[in-house]
Structure 1
Amino acid sequence: MSIDVDRNRLSQNKMFEWLRDTPQLTDMVTVNLWDTQGNQNYNIYCALIPSNQVESALSNPSWDFLPDQGMPCAVKHHENGKECVEYLRYGIANGIEPLIIVREFYGLRDDYHEISEEFRLFHRLYHDKKADKYIKIDDNGDEEVVVLVESNCIKIRLKEICQFLAIKEMYLSIQFDFKEFSKYSLEELEIQKSGSDHRENLICWGHYYGNLNSGSKYQAFSRLFGVRLFPPLPKSKSGFWGFAEEQQKEEIKFIIGINENGDEILANRYDTDYYCTPVHFRKQVLDKYYQQPSKYSVEDSILRCGNLWNLYIDNHHDDKVCVWLGDLGRDLSYKEQLHWRTHNILPQGSVSETYFKRQILAEATDSERPEHIFKQRYHDLKKSCDKYLGWQLLLPLDSDDKHNFQSLRVPATDEQRDFDELVQGLTKILIDSLNEKQLNKLISSEQRDNNPGSINRLQIAFTECGVQDTADHINFLRKLQNLRSSSAAHRKGSNYRKIAEHFDCENQSLRVVFTQILCQALDILNYFIGIVDSGQISKS
Structure 2
Amino acid sequence: MHDQHRVLKQLQALLALPETTEEIAAWLELGVSLDFLEENARSDSVVLFLSAGHMYVHSVLAPTGAVSPPNFEDLTSWHADPWSSWSITYSANKTWISSPLESEASKSLRKGEQIVFMRGFEGVPSRSSYVEILQPLTHVFGLHFMPERNAWCRLDRLGDIEDVFRVVSLQEPGTKTPQGRVVLGSRKVLDQYAALTGATLVRLFDFTCILSERFSGWGSEDSDRRAHGENIQYRYGRMKGTASYGRGAQIIPTATTLEEVSRAFWHDDEDKQHATFIAYDRKHDQVREISCAPDALANYFTKSDKPWEVTPAFFKPEVLLKYKSDREKYKLDHRSIGCRGAWYLKTYDVNEEGQVHTYLGYLNKLPFEEQLHWKQYNEAPKGGISERALKTDLYGTWDESYDPLLSLKAKLRRLEEIHAPWWTLRGKDLPDRVHYPATASPDEWAEELLNLDQLLVEGFEEKVLRAKGIELGEQPQDQMRSLGLLQLCLVGAGFEEEHAGRIVAPLKSLHQLRSKAKGHAGGESAKVLRQSILQEHGTLREHYRALAQACDESLAIITNTLQPA
* Counterpart-to-counterpart distance in 2, 1:107 and 1:57: 42
8 Å CA contact retained: 1:166, 1:234: yes
Q: Distance in 1 between matches of 2:269 and 2:558?
A: 59
- Pick from 302, 313, 317 the counterpart of residue 347 of structure 2: 313
The residue type equivalent to 1:377 in the other structure is L
1:332 corresponds in structure 2 to 366
Q: Aligned partners of 1:443 and 1:242: how far apart in 2?
A: 63
Instruction: Classify the secondary structure of the residue corresponding to 1:366.
Output: coil
Corresponding residue for residue 43 of structure 1: 56
Matched residues, number: 506
- Are 1:149 and 1:155, in contact at CA under 8 Å, matched by a contact in 2? yes
- 1:264-299 per-residue CA deviation (whole Å, 9 max, x = no partner) reads 342444343422322222222322223333333232
SS of match in other structure, 1:201: coil
Q: Which residue of 2 aligns with 1:383?
A: 414
For residues 3-23 of structure 1, give each alpha carbon's deviation from its aligned partner in whole angstroms, at most 9, with x where no partner exists.
847666545454234223245
CA distance in 1, matches of 2:479, 2:522: 27
Deviation at 1:308, TM superposition (A): 5.3
Q: Is the 8 A contact 2:55 2:207 kept in 1?
A: yes
Amino acid across the alignment from 2:414: K
Residues 172-211 of structure 1 mapped to structure 2, 5 A cutoff: 172-185=201-214, 193-199=221-227, 200-210=229-239
Q: In structure 1, what residue type is equivalent to 2:543?
A: Q
Q: How far did 1:524 drift?
A: 1.6
2:307 is matched by which residue type in structure 1? Answer: Y
Structure 2: distance between partners of 1:284 and 1:392: 39
Asked if the contact 2:205–2:249 (Cα under 8 Å) also holds between the matched residues in 1, the reply is yes
Q: Give the C-alpha shift of residue 483 in structure 1.
A: 3.3
Aligned position for 1:300: 334
> Is it true that 1:67 corresponds to 2:82 in the alignment?
yes
1:465–1:34 Cα change, 3 Å: farther
1:222 and 2:244 aligned: yes
Q: Which residue of 2 aligns with 1:92?
A: 102
Name the SS of the counterpart of 2:539 in structure 1. helix
- 2:165 — aligned with what? 147
Offset from partner CA, 1:70-126 (integer Å, 9 cap, x none):
31444779xxxxx77665444517311111122234455533211111111221123
Q: Distance in 2 between matches of 1:202 and 1:383?
A: 67
Q: How does 1:342-353 map to 2 (within 5 A)?
A: 342-353=376-387
Distance 1:460 1:206 in 2: 89
Cα contact 1:256–1:267 (8 A) shared by 2: no
1:453–1:180 CA distance, 2 compared to 1 (3 A):
farther
CA contact (8 A) 1:381 1:525 kept: no
Deviations 1:154-195 (A, max 9, x none): 21121111121111221112222233333322599xx99433
Which region of structure 1 is more displaced relative to structure 2, 236-245 or 337-346? 236-245
Match of 2:153 among 102, 110, 135: 135
The aligned residue for residue 278 of structure 1 is: 312
Distance 1:52 1:243 in 2: 27
Residue 529 to residue 237, structure 1, CA distance change in 2 (3 Å): same
Give how far 1:224 is off: 3.3
3-state SS of the aligned residue for 2:189? helix
* Corresponding residue for residue 520 of structure 1: 547
Amino acid at match of 2:78: W
What's the counterpart of residue 197 of structure 2?
168
Deviations 1:204-232 (A, max 9, x none): 23333349xxxxxxx95433332222211
* Residue 122 to residue 386, structure 1, CA distance change in 2 (3 Å): closer
1:278-335 CA distance string (max 9 Å, x none): 2222222322223333333232333333465433324142422222333333x33434
String of CA shifts for 1:26-83, please: whole Å, max 9, x gaps: x322212233xxxx35332211111122244533534363223231444779xxxxx7
Partner of 1:34: 51
Q: Which amino acid aligns with 2:130?
A: Y
Output the CA distance in 2 between the equivalents of 1:367 and 1:134.
47
Other-structure match for 2:518 = 488
Question: 1:453: which partner in 2?
Answer: 481
Counterpart AA for 1:264:
R
Aligned equivalents of 2:152, 2:359: Cα separation in 1: 37
User: 1:379-416: CA deviations, max 9, x gaps?
Assistant: 323314644xx4254421325xx2x5424333333233
Q: Is the 8 A contact 1:65 1:96 kept in 2?
A: no
Q: Closer, same or farther in 2 for the Cα pair 1:11/1:242, shift >3 Å?
A: closer
| Matched residue type, 1:115 | I
Give the match for residue 80 of structure 1.
Answer: none
The aligned residue for residue 186 of structure 2 is: 157
TM-score by length of 1: 0.80
- Give the counterpart letter for 1:463 in structure 2: V
Q: How far does the alpha carbon of each residue in 1:328-357 deviate from its partner, in whole angstroms, 9 at most, with x for none?
A: 33x334343333333332234322222122
CA contact (8 A) 2:280 2:311 kept: no
C-alpha distance in 2, partners of 1:196/1:460? Answer: 94
CA distance in 2, matches of 1:155, 1:532: 58
Distance 2:525 2:325 in 1: 29
> CA offsets, 1:407-453, max 9 Å, x none?
43333332333233222222212223322232232245996663153
Q: Does 1:472 align with 2:481?
A: no
Match of 2:288 in 1: 264
Q: Which residue of 1 aligns with 2:260?
A: 237
1:16 paired with 2:31, answer no
Gaps of 5+ in 1: 78-82, 212-218
CA distance change for structure 1 residues 360 and 485 in 2, over 3 Å: closer, same or farther? closer
Instruction: State the 1:138 CA deviation.
Output: 4.0
Partner Cα distance (2:102, 2:216) in 1: 43
Give the AA of the match of 1:516: H
Are the equivalent residues in 1 in contact too, given 2:436–2:544 (CA < 8 A)? no
For each residue in 1:207-260, what CA deviation from the matched residue of structure 2 results, as whole angstroms up to 9, or x when unmatched?
Answer: 33349xxxxxxx954333322222112223336767878835443343334899
Q: Determine if contact 1:411/1:418 at 8 Å carries over to the other structure.
A: yes
Q: Is the 2:40–2:46 contact (alpha carbons within 8 Å) kept by the matching residues of 1? A: no
Structure 2 gap segments, 5+ residues each: 1-16, 104-109, 170-180, 297-303
- 1:223–1:472 distance in 2 versus 1, CA, 3 Å: farther
Tell me the equivalent position of 1:214.
Answer: none
Displacement of 1:494 after TM fit? 5.3
Corresponding residue SS for 2:363? helix
Residue 122 in structure 1 maps to residue 140 in structure 2: yes
Distance 1:498 1:360 in 2: 43
